[in-house]
Amino acid sequence: MARNEQRWHWAPEELALASGPDAGFWIADGLRRGAFDVGGLVPPVFDAFARVFHPVYLHDGDDWTRVNWGTIAQQHGTTAHAAMSWQTITGTHRPGNDPEEGSLPRPEASVLARILRHHTTTPDECWFAIWDGYGDEGRPPAGIELLDASRNMVVLHGPITAAEARFGAAPHHSGGGYSASLWWPNDHTWCVATDIDHKSTYVGGNSACIDAILTDPRLEAFPVSGTQFIGWAADTVNPHPPHGT
């Protein structure tokens, strides 16, 4: 049960609003702001990092078919690697059947939470932060202090199982809402970050934690460094399609 029982209609019922952003100060203080690298999303204080790619979910009758980036790259004759972008592996900037941007899909969030619970001593004491700019319906109650973690975040508290829950209702996302933008346990043994402008999620943790993510067949993940560039020009393997194509 969360320490502060104040609820927010836009947040999952498993979570309660924190009294303030104090629990996330270690993240805000540790981020390498403006660097456009992994350390700008996840504090560069961990032994290892992973990039988890959001798969494409294609509607197939009443079901959804999961397709990973490696399969898409193979179909387009491009190379799957840690710094690839959706545009460089598909060869186009045009929108289509794209992965979820800014939100870790529910199935992947559930798998990741099951892995990460074995790498913290506080699985029932976790923190979740969500960007406060998703729209008027998502505005937090008056008086709630926000966490400045490169973007303003509302901080909530609850068990690790809440990682698969969704914030709000976003029909354009297959999960029906948004994942948390940041989440971490009370013992700070790992941190998960999903930026609103990215189609992948970054995780920092110890070597055993990251190895467990990289070797789980239910996730598509690559090892990255804390200094890996995450801007549009990060992919130096595949050609970049011209803008407008």
Domain extent listing, the chain: 16-224
Helix, strand, coil % in the chain, rounded to nearest 5: 20, 25, 55
Tokens of residue 30, six digits: 């540790």
Among the listed ranges 19-23, 28-32, 238-242, which one has the minimum average pLDDT value?
19-23
3-state DSSP assignment of residue 110: helix
More confidently predicted of 79 and 242: 79
Tell me, what's the pLDDT at 10? 82
Tell me, what's the pLDDT at 1? 38
Strand partners, 66: 57
Which tens digits make up the pLDDT trace of 33-48? Answer: 988 999 999 999 999 9
Which tens digits make up the pLDDT trace of 191-241? Answer: 999 999 999 999 999 999 999 999 999 999 999 999 999 988 999 999 999
Q: DSSP assignment, residue 52?
A: E
Residue 120 and residue 118: Cα distance in Å, rounded? Answer: 6
Looking at the chain, the number of H-run helices and the number of E-run strands are 5, 11
Which tens digits make up the pLDDT trace of 151-174? Answer: 999 999 999 999 998 998 654 455
